[in-house]
Structure 1
Amino acid sequence: MEILNSGKVIEYLKRAKKIAVLTGAGISAESGIPTFRGENGLWTKLSPNELASFEAFYNNTAIVSEWYNHRREIIEDSKPNHGHYALVELSKIPEVFNLITQNIDGLHQKAGYTDVIELHGNILESYCIQCGRRYTSEEFEEIYLNAMNHIPRCNCGGLIRPDVVWFGESLPSESIERAYQASINADVFLSIGTSAQVVPASDLPRYAKRNGALLIEVNPNRTVLTDTVDLWLQGKAGEILPKFVEEYRAILET
């Protein structure tokens, strides 16, 4: 394994027909959204079992709803960074491009890429656990602010929960199937800003490499994936991605 510059990455990308990208909390952290793992991650200060499980939600609905409403407000005020926008530009180049994310913040969509494979859901959407009715962020906020004891309920009386995957829950079957297929079929796979610790997302880059893809990691720190990748670009996504995407486009246009 070598740590190579963006020019070398471009040489690999020039030959790629199918590119798959997996993004994790690191790219969102550059937009000011706290991560869950890592030195100052939220799970070093809070217990996942108290806030990120269906049991916690059902038994302490007001507390969990307040926590997620607070996080939703932070995310709604956040903006995509240069890394998000660079991926939108990258998506326009290969014949096939798939963007897979572990993030629940919708920043890829805000940046302009709408066909995102969201493995862990989206905090800006909610649904009733009884009848399944879905709510936008604006609709949920109105219900939440006017709800008795801040316990959001649907018209049918059911509790309204954020559309995110909690501990102990399965990932959306359609999303994980699309992610597996994108990884297996990729010529180049980019792992960006993820600790590569959470399964099954952490398996995706390994599936890609096993099926012949060139594996590139963009991360300021070493991860459990680093020793297995073909290229490690050490640094922040917002600094690295715009540079080599711009150079890549320039080379293809000459």
Structure 2
Amino acid sequence: MYEKLKKIIKESNNIVFFGGAGVSTESNIPDFRSAKGLYAHSPEYLLSRTYFESNTEDFYKFYKENLIFKDAQPNDAHYALAKLEKMGKLKAVITQNIDGLHQKAGSRKVYELHGSVIRNYCMDCREYHDLDYITGFNEAVPRCRKCGGIVKPDVTLYEEMLDMEVFNGAIECISKADVLIVGGTSLIVYPAASLVDFYKGNKLILINKGATSYDSKASMVIDARIGEVLKEATREL
């Protein structure tokens, strides 16, 4: 299994990686859908635009408890991908995660489909605020240092559109790729999952714990931990 994947990686200089929550769980970041606590609503509703606007204080309570993990560090998958990019083999990382760990590991070309907890902007004047500002703010709802407006994380909430510039950039990369490696995602969250349909090549590799709806279309399916697979596949490169 690993030998075949190693050979594909070794022979290609046009690889794109598309990853989901399974990449981050190996850095001990749980999927927010598994949030535990006495919540009156579903995690999806608590992270909706409606809830943000109508219950901003409660939104931030849930958000800080379940989506911010400041101590999280990149894992083997993040480092393997950064290594492949540095070698000129990997052209882009496309991620559904919002933790910034790909960049922390050294990846430069990262398309963050759902934004990032690292970036935060005032809804009134667009002043930028970093993550430390949000977590260190001594009131329930962070306010802009410049104008006092409410600060919103640069994260795509439910009911919001994806950033089309990012989405279209991801489409372009995937459509030009020789090899598409999809990892740590069951490919059920749309429209992100539809990106796979733009791949025109014949080397679609799926790495995930559990089946996906695209298994039958893949040239290679690996049911294993993404970090372990990528570390082994890039070990001797």
Task: Report the TM-score when normalising by structure 2.
Answer: 0.91
The size of the alignment, in residue pairs, is 234
Distance 2:45 2:197 in 1: 32
TM superposition shift of 1:96 = 5.4
Q: Are positions 1:134 and 2:128 aligned together?
A: yes
1:35 maps to which residue? 31
Structure-2 change in CA distance of 1:51 and 1:170 (3 Å) = same
Q: 2:6 aligns with which of 10, 15, 22?
A: 10
1:189 maps to which residue? 180
2:148 maps to which residue? 157
Q: 2:189 aligns with which of 171, 177, 198?
A: 198
Preserved contact between residue 186 and residue 213 of structure 1 (Cα < 8 Å): no
Identical-pair percentage? 36
- In the TM superposition, what whole-angstrom CA distance separates every residue of 1:48-95 from its partner, at most 9, and x where no partner exists? 45311121011111111122222354x211111111111111212345
Q: 1:230 aligns with which of 189, 210, 219?
A: 219
- In the TM superposition, what whole-angstrom CA distance separates every residue of 1:18-69 from its partner, at most 9, and x where no partner exists? 11101100011111111145xxx349x8514531112101111111112222
2:113 maps to which residue? 119
Q: For 2:14, give the aligned amino acid.
A: K
Q: For 2:196, give the aligned amino acid.
A: P
Preserved contact between residue 32 and residue 67 of structure 2 (Cα < 8 Å): no
Structure-2 change in CA distance of 1:233 and 1:119 (3 Å) = same
Distance 1:49 1:184 in 2: 30
Q: Are positions 1:242 and 2:237 aligned together?
A: no
Q: Are positions 1:166 and 2:157 aligned together?
A: yes
Q: CA RMSD in A?
A: 2.0
Q: 1:85 aligns with which of 64, 79, 99?
A: 79
Instruction: Give the number of the structure with larger relative contact order, counting CA–CA contacts within 8 Å between residues 6 or more apart.
Output: 1
Distance 1:67 1:125 in 2: 18
Q: Which runs of 5+ in 2 are unaligned?
A: none
Preserved contact between residue 61 and residue 151 of structure 1 (Cα < 8 Å): yes
Q: For 1:32, give the aligned amino acid.
A: N
1:252 maps to which residue? none
Distance 1:139 1:165 in 2: 19
TM superposition shift of 1:10 = 2.2
TM superposition shift of 1:14 = 3.1
Distance 2:118 2:225 in 1: 25
Distance 2:157 2:167 in 1: 15
TM superposition shift of 1:204 = 1.6
1:24 maps to which residue? 20
TM superposition shift of 1:172 = 1.1
Distance 2:64 2:165 in 1: 27
Q: Are positions 1:51 and 2:46 aligned together?
A: yes
Preserved contact between residue 46 and residue 59 of structure 2 (Cα < 8 Å): yes
- In the TM superposition, what whole-angstrom CA distance separates every residue of 1:221-249 from its partner, at most 9, and x where no partner exists? 111122221101110011111111113x1
Structure-2 change in CA distance of 1:114 and 1:94 (3 Å) = closer
Structure-2 change in CA distance of 1:195 and 1:96 (3 Å) = closer
